[in-house]
Amino acid sequence: MMRPKFLRQRPLLTLPQFIILGAVVFAIFIAVDLNKRARAGQMVGVGETALQQEIALETTRQVELQATLDYVQSDDYAAAYARDEGGQLLPGEVRVVPLPIEAASQPTPVSAVGQDPALNARPWQAWWRLLTDAPHPAR
């Protein structure tokens, strides 16, 4: 027994539609994977730049520390330390120690204490001053 034409089910997707849908899904998968790889590559580059900057900074610090080490091991440093910190002098040198001069202290001036203007102020005058930064208007 045959079914009438209007009762036959049409397939959901035809073969060309199914192929196109598969190609679109595959293209989306490839695009997502490429995007993920591009971001990973960017993160590697950012980390490399930060690491190069840190290496340059530490190299500069190493040169500074080496220069300080060379100076500390020199005879000039030993002489300066003995003269400044140890209080030792070479023959013929005279130590000069500056003495601070103490000035006579002046008495603190006493201000004339008068009546506080805030005692006679009204609340609206304080608000007016805060809001406008201008003296309050005459009454």
Structure tokens at 134: 């201008």
CA distance to 45, 58, 59, 83, per residue, from 65 (Å):
30, 10, 10, 24
Does the global pTM surpass 0.85?
A: no
Least confident of 6-10, 70-74, 85-89: 6-10
Mean pLDDT value across the chain: 82
pLDDT of residue 98: 82
Q: For residue 7, what pLDDT band results from cuts at 50, 70 and 90?
A: low
Q: Where are the alpha helices (DSSP H) in the chain?
A: 15-72, 75-84, 117-120, 123-132
In the predicted model, is pLDDT for residue 5 greater than 80? Answer: no
pLDDT of residue 14: 87
**Which position has the higher pLDDT, 84 or 112?**
84
Counted residue by residue, the chain has a size of 139
**What is the chain's Cα-based Rg?**
44
Chain-centroid distance of CA 18 in Å reads 55
Helix pair 15-72, 75-84: axis angle to 10 deg: 70
pLDDT in tens, 12-52: 888 899 999 999 999 999 999 999 999 888 877 777 888 89
pLDDT of residue 31: 96
Contact present, 62 and 70 (Cβ < 8 Å): no
Secondary structure class of 7 (helix, strand, coil) = helix
Q: For residue 126, what pLDDT band results from cuts at 50, 70 and 90?
A: confident
What percentage of the chain carries pLDDT values higher than 90?
Answer: 33
**Which position has the higher pLDDT, 118 or 27?**
27
